[in-house]
Structure 1
Amino acid sequence: MMFHLNLFSKSSNFFWKALCYFSAEIVSPICIPDSEICFKCPEKEWPDEKNVNCIPKIYEFLSYDNDFLTLIFLFISMMLLAMTLLVLGTFIYYWETSVVRANNRTVSLILVISILLSLLCVFLFLGRPVDITCMLRQVSFGVFFSIAVSSVLAKTITVCIAFKVTKPGSYWRKLATVKVSNFLVLFCSSVQVLICVIWLSVSPPFQDYDMFSYPEKIIIQCNEGSVIGFYSMLGYMGFLAAVSFLLAFVVRTLPDSFNEAKYITFSMLVFCSVWIAMIPAYLSTRGKYMVAVEIFAILASSAGTITCIFFPKCYIMLFKPELNIRKEIYFRK
Structure 2
Amino acid sequence: MDNTDAITSYFDFNTLLNGSKCLKCPEDKWPDSRKEECLSKLIQFLSYEETLGSALACISVLFCLLTFSVFCLFIIKRKTPIVKANNRELSYLLLISLMFGFMCSLAFIGRPNRIMCMIRQVMFAVIFSLCVSTILAKTITVVMIFSATNPDSKLKKLVGLRIPIYIVPVCTMVQIILCIVWLTTDAPFAEFNMAAEIGIIVIECNEGSRVLFACVLGYMGLLASVSLFVAFLARKLPDTFNETKFITFSMLVFASVWVTFIPAYLSTKGKQTVAVEIFAILSSSAGCLFCIFSPKCYTILLHPEMNTRQYITGRNARNRGIQ
CA RMSD across the alignment:
2.7
Is 1:264 matched with 2:247? yes
Is 1:112 matched with 2:90? no
Shift of 1:37: 4.5
Shift of 1:212: 2.3
Residues 331 and 148 of structure 1, relative CA distance in 2, 3 Å threshold: farther
- Whether the aligned pair in 1 keeps the contact of 2:82 and 2:241 (CA below 8 Å) is no
CA distance in structure 1 between the aligned counterparts of 2:160 and 2:194, rounded to whole angstroms = 55
Partner of 2:297: 314
- Whether the aligned pair in 1 keeps the contact of 2:102 and 2:282 (CA below 8 Å) is yes
1:175-190 superposed matches below 5 A: 175-176=158-159, 179-190=162-173
Is 1:283 matched with 2:278? no
Is 1:211 matched with 2:160? no
- Whether the aligned pair in 1 keeps the contact of 2:147 and 2:153 (CA below 8 Å) is no
Shift of 1:76: 1.0
Shift of 1:115: 0.7
Amino acid paired to 1:289: Q
- Whether the aligned pair in 2 keeps the contact of 1:159 and 1:261 (CA below 8 Å) is yes
Residues 180 and 218 of structure 1, relative CA distance in 2, 3 Å threshold: same
Q: Secondary structure of 1:40's partner?
A: coil
Shift of 1:104: 1.1
Partner of 2:106: 123
Is 1:299 matched with 2:282? yes
Partner of 2:26: 42
Which stretch shifts more, 260-269 or 194-203? 194-203
Amino acid paired to 1:102: A
Amino acid paired to 1:50: R
Shift of 1:197: 1.0
Shift of 1:305: 0.2
Partner of 1:75: 58
- Whether the aligned pair in 2 keeps the contact of 1:143 and 1:192 (CA below 8 Å) is yes
Deviations 1:228-285 (A, max 9, x none): 1111111100111111111111222233623101100110000000001101111222
Equivalent residue for 1:132, pick from 102, 112, 115: 115
Residues 55 and 312 of structure 1, relative CA distance in 2, 3 Å threshold: same
- Whether the aligned pair in 2 keeps the contact of 1:13 and 1:36 (CA below 8 Å) is no
Residues 256 and 157 of structure 1, relative CA distance in 2, 3 Å threshold: closer
Is 1:58 matched with 2:42? yes
- Residue identity over aligned pairs, in percent, reads 46
TM-score, normalised via structure 1 length: 0.86
CA distance in structure 1 between the aligned counterparts of 2:97 and 2:226, rounded to whole angstroms = 19
CA distance in structure 2 between the aligned counterparts of 1:330 and 1:33, rounded to whole angstroms = 101
Q: Secondary structure of 1:211's partner?
A: strand
Amino acid paired to 1:303: A
Residues 63 and 48 of structure 1, relative CA distance in 2, 3 Å threshold: same
CA distance in structure 1 between the aligned counterparts of 2:78 and 2:311, rounded to whole angstroms = 17
CA distance in structure 2 between the aligned counterparts of 1:215 and 1:329, rounded to whole angstroms = 65
- Whether the aligned pair in 1 keeps the contact of 2:182 and 2:209 (CA below 8 Å) is yes
1:157-168 superposed matches below 5 A: 157-164=140-147, 166-168=149-151
Residues 36 and 182 of structure 1, relative CA distance in 2, 3 Å threshold: same
- Whether the aligned pair in 2 keeps the contact of 1:125 and 1:291 (CA below 8 Å) is yes
Shift of 1:50: 2.7
Structure 1: unaligned runs, 5 residues or longer = 17-30
Amino acid paired to 1:277: T
1:221-260 superposed matches below 5 A: 221-255=204-238, 257-260=240-243
Which stretch shifts more, 277-286 or 178-187? 178-187
Q: Secondary structure of 1:220's partner?
A: strand
Q: Secondary structure of 1:233's partner?
A: helix
Structure 2: unaligned runs, 5 residues or longer = none
Partner of 1:326: 309
Deviations 1:92-143 (A, max 9, x none): 1111111010121011111110011111111110000111111110101110
Partner of 1:274: 257
TM-score, normalised via structure 2 length: 0.89
CA distance in structure 2 between the aligned counterparts of 1:273 and 1:252, rounded to whole angstroms = 19
Residues 330 and 154 of structure 1, relative CA distance in 2, 3 Å threshold: farther
CA distance in structure 2 between the aligned counterparts of 1:243 and 1:296, rounded to whole angstroms = 24
Q: Secondary structure of 2:39's partner?
A: strand
CA distance in structure 2 between the aligned counterparts of 1:52 and 1:108, rounded to whole angstroms = 65
